[in-house]
Structure 1
Amino acid sequence: MALQQIVEQTVAGLGYDLVEIERSAGGLLRITIDLMWAPPADGGEVQATGQFVTVEDCEKVTRQLQFALEVEGVDYKRLEVSSPGIDRLLRNEQDFTRFEGEVIDITLKEPLGAAAGGQVAANRKKFRGTLERVPAGGWQIVWSDEPPVKPGQRVSKKRVPAPLQALGFTLDELREARLAPIVDFKGRGARPGAAG
């Protein structure tokens, strides 16, 4: 049985999605897993679950994979099982559907060229914005080139915000797409109903 098939069956059997298999120098076999996800049955809006892969999840998959790989005689020196992290790679249509409405980073295979209409540099290939589904089918990223407001900075009420821009794309036009690694170090927000 092929490595891909062994790993997919083992990971799916434990109730996880296989994100990536990577073989590195020195015999390292790196497996990336995520929690199972299915689109809403009623076709409604996609909701974030707020659940993440834990260390215990990785340990459970590691133990089962060690057994399965030994039985199948797969050669490796070290096995590493991990979560996709906050900058998770988006690889297929299901990933894009799952993370619709999230901020993502995309890199195009080819620069925009003259199709940009003059608002975006013709040689630009990298964008960060909100992932949206286009009604006609396909995807777009929506962003503003306005710099973010720094904490404590005063903003004039007369200031006109930069316009939003949108770029439609197909998965074939992408070199890479990832969730944007945005971290809020301020901690949890105030609890509802708590006195300020």
Structure 2
Amino acid sequence: MFLATERPQHEGLEARIADAIAPTIEHMGYELVRVQVSGQARPVVQIMADRADGAPFRVEDCEAISHAIGAVLDVEDPIKGEWSLEVSSAGIDRPLTRTKDWTNYAGHLATLELLVPQEGRKRFRGIILGADAETARLRLEDGAELAVARGNIRRAKLVLTDELIAATAAAAPEEDADEASDEDPKPARRN
């Protein structure tokens, strides 16, 4: 099992959804990477997950998670009205939401966007140097090192490069894990 401190940080509705579904997917052998809700009239709840055992993420994994968390969300009822659920792997150019993401992909290129400007900027691009619970570090393209408070990161993700593709292929040669996705096009019915 994973401790709540190892889960990605979310706020508002996304935090409520993450708190509701994380125990279920962790019990099933998966890790929550990100929850994102988009759209107004008919919101889409997007869930990204990884297999806890590090094996390639497959369509069957998406289906299993979708069925399990769909039931949890029906009970929790975090969104009034119709909404749809999408479950997918984090993909090759994954979001960097947990300390382990920053650590596992040290040496790879990433972009990040801040909530509050630092050094007069909100957007940065550089090589991941690592992270701990409070701070993420990058070596910028000009060679300078940047340390950013994790709580100030609006979003961060890996940049798709030949090196990242090669590293991902070496880790999972038998399957293209980033193609796994399961969309439930039916709206969830609310009472």
CA 1:124/1:30 → structure 2, altered by over 3 Å: closer, same or farther? closer
Distance in 2 (alpha carbons) for counterparts of 1:175 and 1:125: 9
CA 1:105/1:10 → structure 2, altered by over 3 Å: closer, same or farther? same
Alignment of 1:23-42 (within 5 A): 23-24=37-38, 25=40, 26-36=42-52
Q: Bigger radius of gyration, 1 or 2?
A: 1
| 1:110 and 2:126 are equivalent in the alignment | no
Amino acid at match of 2:37: R
| 1:5 and 2:19 are equivalent in the alignment | yes
Which structure dedicates a bigger proportion of its chain to helix? 2
Distance in 1 (alpha carbons) for counterparts of 2:139 and 2:18: 35
Q: Structure 2 length normalisation: TM-score?
A: 0.58
Q: Identify which of structures 1 and 2 has the higher relative contact order when contacts are C-alpha pairs closer than 8 Å and 6+ apart.
A: 2
CA 1:142/1:13 → structure 2, altered by over 3 Å: closer, same or farther? same
| 1:167 and 2:171 are equivalent in the alignment | no
3-state SS in 2 of match to 1:62: helix
> Shift of the alpha carbon at 1:99?
2.6
| 1:99 and 2:102 are equivalent in the alignment | no
Match 2:65 to one of 61, 72, 76: 61
Corresponding residue for residue 40 of structure 1: none
Amino acid at match of 1:93: T
Which structure dedicates a bigger proportion of its chain to strand? 2
Distance in 1 (alpha carbons) for counterparts of 2:76 and 2:108: 41
Corresponding residue for residue 89 of structure 1: 95
3-state SS in 1 of match to 2:19: helix
> Shift of the alpha carbon at 1:79?
1.8
CA 1:27/1:176 → structure 2, altered by over 3 Å: closer, same or farther? closer
| 1:18 and 2:32 are equivalent in the alignment | yes
> Shift of the alpha carbon at 1:27?
4.1
> Percent of pairs identical after alignment?
26
Match 1:128 to one of 110, 125, 128: 125
Q: Is the 8 A contact 2:34 2:97 kept in 1?
A: no
Amino acid at match of 1:29: V
Q: Is the 8 A contact 2:33 2:98 kept in 1?
A: no
> Shift of the alpha carbon at 1:13?
1.5
Distance in 2 (alpha carbons) for counterparts of 1:66 and 1:124: 39
CA 1:10/1:138 → structure 2, altered by over 3 Å: closer, same or farther? closer
CA 1:97/1:10 → structure 2, altered by over 3 Å: closer, same or farther? same
Q: Structure 1 length normalisation: TM-score?
A: 0.57
